[in-house]
Structure 1
Amino acid sequence: MKISPSLVCPPLYGLYKAWCSTLHYNESGREEIDALWARKEPMVFALWHDELFPLMHVKRDLAIVTVVSQSQDGEYLAGVLSRLGLHTARGSSSRGGVKALLQASRMMRNQGLCGCITVDGPRGPRHKVKEGAIFLAQRTPAHVVPVRILMANSKKFEKAWDKFQLPLPFSDIHIHYGKPYTLEANSLEAEEVTREVGVLQNKLDALGKA
């Protein structure tokens, strides 16, 4: 039975805010992000699906659009994100993915937004970069910002495809923003996209060792 988002989203939003308010955040590399945003230079934040939970609590004045699944769960998530001040484009790799990325890229250009995408979502393989962030950055154009969110204490859902992490209350959260960079690719030709995917993969892998 489908429950109306108007009933589900407000308590989920309240729970998220309350949960994140207990966490102890530390951010590295944020200064360069804020400097780019002050100059209204767009960015695409690229992160792993299992690490996304704590991130939106520290978006502050960043204006962000993110791609959200067209599923019922995605409808609830979109409602919560809206209350957090985010914009959403609806779609996934299996349902309306290209349409959602096109919508997100238009919103970035027309409304001066940053993009945020879980680069191994929505179904994996885990920690393997897909093309979505490259697509957004090339079409905008925008800087790419690799992001890792490391949680000192978390509940890891081992049976989930991404081994999703839920930070335990009062745990330490370390958010590492990699150095923003621009793509070398001049087009979305397959060979160039594949090369850029490899570059982002290496940067995310290295950032996890920070």
Structure 2
Amino acid sequence: MKIKSRALLGVLNSLVVFVIRMIFKTTRLEFVGDSLDRCPFADTGSERYLYSVWHDSVIPPLFCNVEHNSVALISQHRDADTIEAMLKAARMGAIRGSTTRGGASAMKKLMTSAEGKHVVITPDGPRGPHHQMKPGIVFLASHSGRSIIPNAFAASRSWKFQGSWTSIWIPKPFATVYYLVGNPIHVPEDISREEMREYTDLVQEKMEELEQELEQILTGPVQERSTVPFRKAA
């Protein structure tokens, strides 16, 4: 059943955000290796990045920290109204737009809206396929001058909620959430279609490598984990 009342939708979104926030207050966040130096919570100076996060892992970057120096790029489709409301309730900004429509001028306008902020993008959204990189984030990087930073999240224990084309996972109370941040990938300006495909494949490869590394951390010996705990803001 689709909720049409904006007031009721706002109440439900706030309730969901409250429950998830309470869960995250019990979790332990650990950064793998030197990931803390490149995450959206770090002091990156004047550099601003495009953070690539798979659609099924969007909950951790919203609730790992209360204060955000980033905004999420979400679809202009009406279905994204609920997502925008949840982002607002989670105290994270949102910009509406597309990485595949409007050309260079639209990209510049889009990035002006995000000036001074990192941009979080789900490159396999909004309709999938699951974990399949689309070229939009590469196109945006080429026209904005911002580098792409791959991200991966995993939890020691979690719930998975299956949607139409992908699942969304939420850590269980008192779980450990692992955050792995890759190295920046710079995309040159005015790249050709062939080069765009090559960079899209490169980002896909790096995202998969991060996922595999986290899988090894979850299944490997605890004493071999190279992680740094992070104290979340109150």
TM-score range, shorter chain: 0.7 to 0.9
Q: 1:135, CA displacement in angstroms?
A: 2.3
Which residue in the other structure is 1:197 paired with? Answer: 200
Q: Pick closer, same or farther for the CA change 1:75–1:122 going to 2, 3 Å.
A: same
Which residue in the other structure is 1:75 paired with? Answer: 81
SS at match of 1:45: strand
- Return the alpha-carbon distance in structure 2 between the equivalents of residues 83 and 45 of structure 1: 21
| CA displacement 1:121-164 (0-9 Å, x = unmatched) | 11111111112221222222112110000122222235641132
For these two proteins, the number of residue pairs brought into alignment is 204
For structure 1, which segment, 161-170 or 31-40, has the greater mean C-alpha deviation from structure 2 after superposition?
A: 31-40
Which residue in the other structure is 2:71 paired with? Answer: 65
Give the TM-score normalised by the residue count of structure 2.
0.75
For structure 1, which segment, 29-38 or 155-164, has the greater mean C-alpha deviation from structure 2 after superposition?
A: 29-38
Give the TM-score normalised by the residue count of structure 1.
0.83
Contact 2:143–2:189 (Cα < 8 Å) also in 1: no
Contact 1:62–1:114 (Cα < 8 Å) also in 2: no
Match of 1:207 among 210, 229, 233: 210
- Aligned sequence identity (%): 22
Whichever residue aligns with residue 133 of structure 1, its letter is I
| CA displacement 1:8-61 (0-9 Å, x = unmatched) | 333233223112212221112111347974412010100111111112223565
Structure 1 unaligned spans of 5+:
none
Q: Pick closer, same or farther for the CA change 1:181–1:67 going to 2, 3 Å.
A: same
RMSD: 2.7
For the pair 1:89 / 2:92, whether they are aligned, the reply is no
For the pair 1:173 / 2:177, whether they are aligned, the reply is yes
Which residue in the other structure is 2:62 paired with? Answer: 56
Which residue in the other structure is 1:135 paired with? Answer: 139
Structure 2 unaligned spans of 5+:
214-234
